[in-house]
Amino acid sequence: MCDDSCAKQENVFKGDINNSEVNALKIEDNRHFTVIQQTINQNNPSIVNNISTDELTNKISKELLSGIKLLLPAQSEISEQITATTAVDLSDEYNKIIDNARDQINSHNPNKCIETLDNLYNRIKDQNIDNFIRFRILTNYGAAYLDLGNQEECAKYFLDAFQYSPELEKAKINKALAHVFLKQNDQAQVIISEILKNNPVCLRALSLHIQLSDSREEADRRVMEIPENIKIEREISMAIGGAYLRISNDLSNAEQWYEKAKDAEDDININILATLAEIKLQIVLKANTALIGQQANEEQRSKLKEAVDLFSTVIEKTKNTDFYNSIHSWINSRGVALGILGDLRKAKNDFQEARRLKPDEIMYSKNVIIYSIETGDENEAKNIINDIEQSLELPADIAILKAQILLNGKDADKKEGIKIIQGLSKAENDDLNTKSANRLMINVYLENNDFEKAIKLNNELIDKNPTEIAYLIDQARILKKQNLNNDVNTVLDKALKDLQIISDIKTKKELADLLFFNQRYSDCWPIYETITDVKIESIQRYRFIFSLFKSGLYKKVLELVELIKKDGIPDYIAEIESVIYEEIGDVPGAIETLKNYLKKKPDHFEIELSLANLYFRSGDKNSIDEFLNKYNTYISSEPKNIFQLAFLLQELGQDKEAFDLIYNLWRNNQNNQEVLSNYIFFFLLRNKKEKDDFLLEPIEQSLIGSAITIEDEEGSVNEHLLLDEKDAPVLPEELAVSSKLGKLLINKKRGERIVLDDISEQKLKIINIQNKYLFAYTKTLKIINEHRVDVDGLISFKTKLDDNGQDIKNKLEKVAKNDNRKSFLDSVIELYKIKRLTTGVLADMTGKDYFETYNLLTNTPQLGLYCSDGTIAERVEALSYNLLDDKYSLIIDLSALFTIFKLNIQNIVIENYPKIIISNATKQFIKYQVQEYKNGIKSRERGYVYTDDNGEIRYMDIPNEMIEANQKLLESMDDWIEKNCNTEPAVSLLELESERRDKLNKILGKSFLETAMIATQNDNYIMLSDDYVFRTLSKNDLKVKGIWTQVLLMNLLDKNKITDEEYGGFVLQLLQMNYDYITINEKVVIRAIERDNWNPENNFNFVSKVLNANKTSPVSASEILANVIYEIWKKTLLNEIKRNSIFTNLLNNFVQNYPKRQELINLLISKIKIRFALTPIWRDEILLLVSHWKK
């Protein structure tokens, strides 16, 4: 009965292995299939069929094992059934020994239990002992073997035990279990039915009765028959959950019932905890089957953490027990959960432990291999693969992993890797391993640029399976490698149409990554969103957030950032967040974001550089100086950072320092294509506006840092770069000034001759001297030309230096020159004239800043500044706002800001409209302008004027007095803004979709869009802008309420805040600055004439042009003109010659270029008759003058 034949047996019930993905993990552990589930399935082909096609069902482990143990009479309550008397006096002692064996099972030490029972059996095997003692011994043997996973051996003991206590209910239940283990479900059901007939509330019988259900309907019926007060018992809750799990894979219901089973009693049942943990894990896996790189949502993460906690409790409880050796599948499952949660190291440790406990389980080895690769330990992966190869032929999926490792190795390894995948790829079937091998083969072809073979294999695969998205992804990769970007996008579009049928994460990630690298951010972010856990730092999270950012979904990015911030954020997220705040005009928010990051991670150069640029744009010179002082000798960083720092120095007017920085970078990176190409661009884009370019100034005398070209008597030419003796030579041309030749070359002039050697009397002639920056530029051009370095946008040309370097200067000007510039500017100006461009966009398109553009418009009669369309409807709507009401705030844009200061009414404005808001972009622009003037950059610029003679744009030097006046104006604006204006971020920009925001940016201009969006954020915000097109677009597209400066003046006049005389003066100034359309009345015209001392000169000419019938409504113009004539005739002391001259000029301007001249004159005559109705003498005199004028 207890001889060697009772040795442990391996479980023979094997589940299907699902190779759903080469790099996916599985958690099948077939030994932990519930014994009842296994045996019932084998007797029910339909259920076997269902399970074999459902990998999730295969992965559920031990969901009923705890119930089986609860059914065993080996539990403590069996001792209550012991009879008071036995046939042997030693019964009490035997029962205590059996109780000890039972406790060893409950403590998960089945081997010790067997050892205890073996010792007892050897003592009593020849004795005539009580049958109940025999029953207990055999039952506990069976329980021990069941704990060891040997169900068949357990069944033998249970059946043997039954004969010694056939009347016991528990013995009958054990017998029924034995029949289940032996695949005799019908016999088991007969026994259970008989028990329930006699005892309908027998918990263990009810439990097995539920578990023996053949269908969901039958299980539902049997569950409904059980009273509610019985269902809450642990055995019943667990049985119901197990039945739903086995029959219909109803994970949700199973979880609920196992939760009830767990909470039904205070003691811990490790089998219930482990099964519940497996169910929670499977719920997550059901949504996504790929484990490495899987990203779970918040709900899934919570469930995974619960599973990890449950597994951890089980593992801790079973440590130092025999049973620990049997829980390898639970340890493996915990590793899976940890892997999905992103803790790859701990996950790998669990897989290693599971493999240690069961080294022959190939799945555990595979898991360790995969996670070793993921954590960068390829050597461990190789060692495990070698161990497997010692005992068996590598399974295909592990062979592919081996090939992947080899392909990353040396040439010999690569050849072996190629050999492996070639063997696997030749399989006729299209299973997952063959698919993976073929795709790896395509990778090999691409690495070797063998496009023909890659295309051929890819086409064959697509022909076999046209709906396979992975093959379309490979097709797109092949096309991309050939730079066929249009074709790539066509294939990607096709893949996106089939996106819904992609089930595995790995393929989704591949597609998303390919879209990302093709800069199709709006297409890839929705895919990343479904597979990314933003709480886990990964390259996937970076691409997801960056894609959202590039798609313009700023609000969504900021929401994710807030979620991530709890655990700290990486630098790229801090920079993205800062840029978004800057985009919406919240510069303080952008600065605060970077400062907060630096508190946690100080001395981060890239972040500090970004912060310094923000300080520059906000005019914080002290903070910029602190940054520059900290990094004044900084040269050891990424080239891109050095270039950014150099650009910042240039903006600060420190051109020499900027070029020193760039030159040192160039000097130490001669083999870096990025550095070489960027040096060229930096050189070409250097202060192109400068009159005096220190880089191209001729050098008459050689100094340290000079590049000297010398020629020997035979005509050979060499270049030398004089180097300070404290610097170590890096370039072959560099020559220490302390060297023999260096001493001869220092402080020499072009054309001088030197004697190299007194003995040979070899003479050298200095034929050219240039600075080191120009030397670096010309040398870089030679490198690019000689090596055909591909530098996008760079025009390659040969250079030949003459004696003064003028050839270089001419060629640089030629490179910078745009032959189509004039026609382009003409087209842009024409669009502006027909009111199709805002002033902000005009500035952008002409390449000038807004201040220059404003000055161009207001100083050029042919252009002017369109501030209004001159209609009564527009004026009435604007005047309807009671601007002096405290509830209103004025949102002022750049055009109105310049107008206010040009009119010098800033104090009047702030006194009457204390609630003034400007955008941060407007504020930064003014500060930036002030900085440029202070740094002397503007003094080196050339401005443009729109000439009067032939209407062409010409460039001219800006006079110093104008530069000084502009600087003073900007400084006063900056000071006024700081003291009187509030800034508000344009948070409403976050609500705009990327496409709409980009469109508005293009048609409005950045600072203007920011202003308009602020105006949408409150019903009591009124936008003040003198850009009619901008104001109209803002009204139509964004529902912005707007006015212009003349309306503001009218409001002030109406409320007696300014006098008629002041109002007229301001209107006249607007006319003189070529504002169009300006509303005038007779008072304004008369005031202009008075200023000209009643001569039709400058002021008069400005106002009289407004009375042109083409400029406004002929009726309005004729009415105003009649009133003006009346006011003139009232001046009885006015010289008749002056009066008639003014009258004639007014009439000329009124009808000029009007197509229906006579109709217009008749209209004026009718208005004159009305106005002079009470003064007939004046009327007749004026009509006579009109008659003479007509002739």
Q: Which DSSP string do the residues of 1063-1083 spell out, in sequence order?
A: HHHHHHHHHHTTEES----HH
Q: 362 pLDDT exceeds 70? A: yes
How many Å apart are CA 199 and CA 168, to the nearest integer? 12
Q: 897 pLDDT exceeds 90? A: yes
Q: Which pLDDT does position 303 carry in this prediction?
A: 93
Domain limits, the chain: 421-438+445-621, 633-817, 836-1054, 1083-1190
Q: Which pLDDT does position 1043 carry in this prediction?
A: 97
Closest CA to 1108 of 1135, 1064, 1067, 1071: 1071
Distance of CA 311 to the CA centre of its chain: 36
Q: 400 pLDDT exceeds 50? A: yes
Return the higher-pLDDT residue of 116 and 54. 116
How many Å apart are CA 55 and CA 50, to the nearest integer? 10
Dump pLDDT digits (tens) for 179-223: 999 999 999 999 999 999 999 989 989 989 998 988 999 989 999
How many Å apart are CA 481 and CA 219, to the nearest integer? 58
How many Å apart are CA 104 and CA 909, to the nearest integer? 92
Q: Which pLDDT does position 10 carry in this prediction?
A: 27
Q: 50 pLDDT exceeds 80? A: no
Q: Which pLDDT does position 853 carry in this prediction?
A: 92
How many Å apart are CA 328 and CA 353, to the nearest integer? 8
Q: 1100 pLDDT exceeds 60? A: yes
Three-class SS of 271-318:
HHHHHHHHHHHHHHHHHCCCCCCCCCCHHHHHHHHHHHHHHHHHHHHH
Task: Check if the beta carbon of residue 336 is closer than 8 Å to that of residue 291.
Answer: yes
Averaged pLDDT score across all residues of the chain: 83
Q: Which pLDDT does position 535 carry in this prediction?
A: 79
Mean pLDDT to the nearest integer, 1148-1174: 90
Q: 1059 pLDDT exceeds 90? A: yes
The pLDDT confidence band at residue 138, using thresholds 50, 70 and 90, is: very high
Q: Which CATH superfamily is domain 421-438+445-621 in?
A: Tetratricopeptide repeat domain (1.25.40.10)
Cut 0.85: pTM above it: no
Listed range (6-15, 669-678, 853-862, 1027-1036) with the worst mean pLDDT: 6-15
Q: 862 pLDDT exceeds 70? A: yes
Quick check: helix, strand or coil at residue 763? strand
User: Tokens 């093959």 label which residue?
Assistant: 471
The pLDDT confidence band at residue 275, using thresholds 50, 70 and 90, is: very high
Task: Using the CB atoms, write b or e for 896-931: b if 16+ within 10 Å.
Answer: bbbbbbbbebbebbeebbeebbbbbbbbbbbbbbbb
- Interacting residues of 569 by C-beta distance below 8 A, sequence separation 6+: 561, 577, 597
How many Å apart are CA 506 and CA 294, to the nearest integer? 8
Q: Max alpha carbon distance in the chain (Å)?
A: 157
In order of 195, 709, 737, 746, 749, the CA distances from 769 in angstroms are 111, 6, 15, 11, 8
User: Tokens 């197990």 label which residue?
Assistant: 242
Listed range (227-231, 362-366, 1133-1137) with the worst mean pLDDT: 1133-1137
How many Å apart are CA 1173 and CA 315, to the nearest integer? 111
What size, in residues, is the chain? 1191
Mean pLDDT to the nearest integer, 368-373: 92
Q: Which pLDDT does position 821 carry in this prediction?
A: 58
Closest CA to 1088 of 1114, 1109, 1106, 1075: 1106
Q: 49 pLDDT exceeds 50? A: no
Mean pLDDT to the nearest integer, 928-934: 85
How many Å apart are CA 448 and CA 585, to the nearest integer? 49
Q: Sign of dihedral through CA atoms 745, 748, 750, 752?
A: negative
Distance of CA 1141 to the CA centre of its chain: 70
Q: Which pLDDT does position 44 carry in this prediction?
A: 34
Q: What are the start-end ranges of the H helices in 834-959? A: 839-846, 850-858, 872-879, 894-903, 906-912, 920-934
**Counting Cβ atoms within 10 Å, is residue 1059 exposed (0-12), middle (13-18) or buried (19+)?**
exposed
Kind of pairing between the strands at 865-866 and 1075-1076:
parallel
Q: Which pLDDT does position 931 carry in this prediction?
A: 83
Q: Sign of dihedral through CA atoms 486, 488, 494, 495?
A: negative
In order of 429, 450, 676, 1026, the CA distances from 633 in angstroms are 64, 48, 21, 47
Return the higher-pLDDT residue of 1083 and 814. 1083
How many Å apart are CA 960 and CA 691, to the nearest integer? 14
User: Tokens 């019985």 label which residue?
Assistant: 230
Tokens describing residue 771: 């600075």
- Interacting residues of 628 by C-beta distance below 8 A, sequence separation 6+: 612, 649
Q: 309 pLDDT exceeds 90? A: yes
Q: Which pLDDT does position 83 carry in this prediction?
A: 35
Dump pLDDT digits (tens) for 785-823: 765 444 443 333 333 334 444 444 454 444 444 445 567
In the chain, what percentage of residues exceed pLDDT 90? 45
**Counting Cβ atoms within 10 Å, is residue 76 exposed (0-12), middle (13-18) or buried (19+)?**
exposed
Task: Check if the beta carbon of residue 671 is closer than 8 Å to that of residue 739.
Answer: no
Task: Check if the beta carbon of residue 541 is closer than 8 Å to that of residue 549.
Answer: no
Closest CA to 637 of 608, 613, 659: 608
User: Tokens 């309908």 label which residue?
Assistant: 200
Q: Cα 287–292–294 angle (5° rounding)? A: 40
Q: 1082 pLDDT exceeds 60? A: yes
Dump pLDDT digits (tens) for 59-91: 222 333 334 444 443 333 333 333 333 334 578
Identity of residue 968:
K
Dump pLDDT digits (tens) for 234-252: 989 989 998 888 888 899 9
Q: Which pLDDT does position 693 carry in this prediction?
A: 62
The pLDDT confidence band at residue 651, using thresholds 50, 70 and 90, is: confident
Q: 932 pLDDT exceeds 70? A: yes
Mean pLDDT to the nearest integer, 1045-1073: 93
Under the phi-then-psi rule, with left for phi > 0, alpha for psi from -120 to 50, and beta for the rest, what region is 755? beta
Q: Which pLDDT does position 89 carry in this prediction?
A: 52
Tell me how crowded residue 475 is: count the other CB atoms within 10 A of its CB: 24
How many Å apart are CA 832 and CA 829, to the nearest integer? 5
Q: Cis omega before residue 1077 (within 30°)?
A: yes
Closest CA to 541 of 553, 558, 528: 528
CA dihedral 160, 161, 164, 168 (to 10 degrees): -130
Q: 980 pLDDT exceeds 70? A: yes
How many Å apart are CA 1029 and CA 895, to the nearest integer? 12
Closest CA to 1015 of 1035, 1044, 1036, 991: 1035
- Interacting residues of 655 by C-beta distance below 8 A, sequence separation 6+: 649, 686, 687, 694
Task: Check if the beta carbon of residue 797 is closer than 8 Å to that of residue 684.
Answer: no
Q: Which pLDDT does position 1106 carry in this prediction?
A: 76
Q: Which long-range contacts (CB under 8 A, 24 or more apart) does 728-733 make?
A: 730/667, 730/668, 731/667, 731/670, 733/707, 733/775, 733/779
Tokens describing residue 727: 């610097």
In the chain, what percentage of residues exceed pLDDT 70? 84
How many Å apart are CA 1035 and CA 385, to the nearest integer? 70
Instruction: Tell me yes or no: is domain 633-817 CATH 3.30.200.210.
Output: no
